[in-house]
Structure 1
Amino acid sequence: MGVLHSTLLCFILLHSWKIAAYSDEDWKKATATFTKDTDEGSLINGACGYGDIHKASYGKHSAGLSTILFNRGSACGACYEIRCVDHILWCVMGSPSIVVTVTDFCAPNYGLSVDYGGWCNFPREHFEMSQPAFSQIAKSKADIVPIQYRRVKCQRSGGLKYTMSGSSHFYQVLVTNVGLDGEVVAMKVKGSRTGWIPMARNWGQNWHCNVNLQRQPLSFEVTVSSGRTLTSYNVAPANWQFGQTFEGKQFSE
């Protein structure tokens, strides 16, 4: 009975920790800059592979992360609440916060010091925000501002979206609009003539496998960073084509 009680207690504590990790997570210190609107590359060709982030439903509330936070692309899709702090000249009065989605990588510049231009050099924690998002927490005249950040749940409208690409024996899918955790850490695909096939991360949130899946309906199994798994059956019909996007289920609270 004591063993059962201890196991149950551990489960409750673990579950409570996962909830607290997003709802009551302590604020951490970092810095932030912004990418000007004229730099369309950050809105269309980010390192997470989302393409045009407006079409990917992330809009301009997006950010690129420094090396230590980006974690080789595994952070793509995660949501962070950010607020400007400790700078009376540049922070918006009242330190309002904004939620951004990770869509890009802020590349290091080791030719510059971490205090002057090398904002994203390892191991510095830094957010390179879109200009509209940055202007909601700080004045656009600022070069760099001190911030606080914490992970939060991603609020999404509709289900997970799967965009097909590749060729007959190289199948790739881009996963977007992921709610709650936001970060996809594992994927599987299943055709009507196959079992569940594990997929490998190609780059960002593009996942691939070397299997011919054409002319069969496809189902997907998606695992996010908290360990939760979502299965959507027959998301794509048998006549799906490369370049098409299909919508499946969404993670629920």
Structure 2
Amino acid sequence: MASFHHRWSLTMFLVVATLAIIDRVNGAGYGDTPRGFQATPWQLSHATFYGDESASATMGGACGFGNLVTSGYGTDTAALSSVLYNKGFACGQCFQIKCVQSDSCYSTVVTVTATNLCPPNPAQDSNNGGWCNPPRTHFDMAKPAFMKIAQWKAGIVPVSYRRVPCVKKGGIKFSLQGNGYWLLVYVMNVGGSGDIASMWVKGSKTSWLAMSHNWGASYQAFATLSGQTLSFKITSYTSHETIIATNVAPSSWQVGMTYQANVNFK
């Protein structure tokens, strides 16, 4: 099932930066929310696929993760209907999906990462082509991932799904875009709940500056930060945990570079 998705290309280079975790605390204002993220109960939905076996059509996407292979997400990914996509706050979340109630099902359970939006199609009925129309929950999977759970000729299959913790190797990655007066940061390889609710940046000559949500998994700050070492503070959307880290990007940071921390959500 082909769908049109927003694509974004990023040229990324990986620079490993020394980062020290200062503190890990529950986000302010969230009450007694427990730390960490646990798997949710299984729910019923449907799944289709887009692209071909190469998954080239899935690169980029509405979350802004760029080349999903070099970014570490691979081809086990999915575009979410707008209900699940949640205006981009679901970017990076991980789901287990298994095919159910169909002769086309395999017994395999696949874990996918949300990397894209499956947009609504109001010209088609929600039960006949408009699979991603509100209020439906739906997964438009990369074809290699779909082929692990069902015969691809089925086109659409009923599935059972649940949110699961994202198990990531290495630290969180920060891809820097913008200019000396406007910093745009794409955040990737987030563990735990996989998502981000809010983000702050601190230059070596500034206090903490709140960043606003731009789109997908990107956050922006309108500030003069060139020539300064950058630190970041991130709060998870689901678990509300906050990671504070220092010296993620050196004072010589450049637009187009990706810097990796040595800490992540668990």
Q: TM-score, normalised by structure 1?
A: 0.88
CA distance in 1, matches of 2:263, 2:210: 20
RMSD, aligned α-carbons: 1.6
2:59 to 43, 48, 53: 43
Tell me which residue corresponds to 1:231: 244
Please report how far the alpha carbon of residue 40 of structure 1 lies from its aligned counterpart in structure 2 after TM superposition: 3.0
CA distance in 2, matches of 1:234, 1:170: 19
Q: Give the number of the structure with larger relative contact order, counting CA–CA contacts within 8 Å between residues 6 or more apart.
A: 2
- Residue 250 (str. 1) matches residue 263 (str. 2): yes
1:77 to 79, 92, 96: 92
- Return the structure number with greater helix share: 1
Please report how far the alpha carbon of residue 114 of structure 1 lies from its aligned counterpart in structure 2 after TM superposition: 1.0
Letter in 1 for 2:148: Q
Tell me which residue corresponds to 1:58: 73
CA distance in 1, matches of 2:198, 2:161: 26
**Are the aligned partners of 2:170 and 2:264 in contact in 1 as well (CA < 8 Å)?**
no
Please report how far the alpha carbon of residue 248 of structure 1 lies from its aligned counterpart in structure 2 after TM superposition: 1.0
Tell me which residue corresponds to 2:219: 207
CA distance in 2, matches of 1:171, 1:252: 23
| Alignment: residue pair count | 234
**Are the aligned partners of 2:50 and 2:57 in contact in 1 as well (CA < 8 Å)?**
no
Please report how far the alpha carbon of residue 39 of structure 1 lies from its aligned counterpart in structure 2 after TM superposition: 6.7
CA distance in 2, matches of 1:246, 1:169: 19
CA distance in 1, matches of 2:202, 2:51: 42
Bigger Rg, which one: 1
Tell me which residue corresponds to 1:32: 47
Tell me which residue corresponds to 1:90: 104
Quick one: structure 1 residues 30 and 197, their matched pair in 2 at CA, closer, same or farther if it must change by over 3 Å?
Answer: same
Identical amino acids, percent of aligned pairs = 41
Tell me which residue corresponds to 1:6: none
Letter in 2 for 1:40: S
Please report how far the alpha carbon of residue 252 of structure 1 lies from its aligned counterpart in structure 2 after TM superposition: 4.7
- Residue 150 (str. 1) matches residue 162 (str. 2): yes
Unaligned runs of 5+ in 2: 1-30
Q: TM-score, normalised by structure 2?
A: 0.84
2:137 to 115, 119, 125: 125
**Are the aligned partners of 1:232 and 1:249 in contact in 2 as well (CA < 8 Å)?**
no
Please report how far the alpha carbon of residue 143 of structure 1 lies from its aligned counterpart in structure 2 after TM superposition: 1.1
Unaligned runs of 5+ in 1: 1-9
Letter in 1 for 2:247: N
- Residue 22 (str. 1) matches residue 38 (str. 2): yes
- Residue 68 (str. 1) matches residue 83 (str. 2): yes
Letter in 1 for 2:119: A
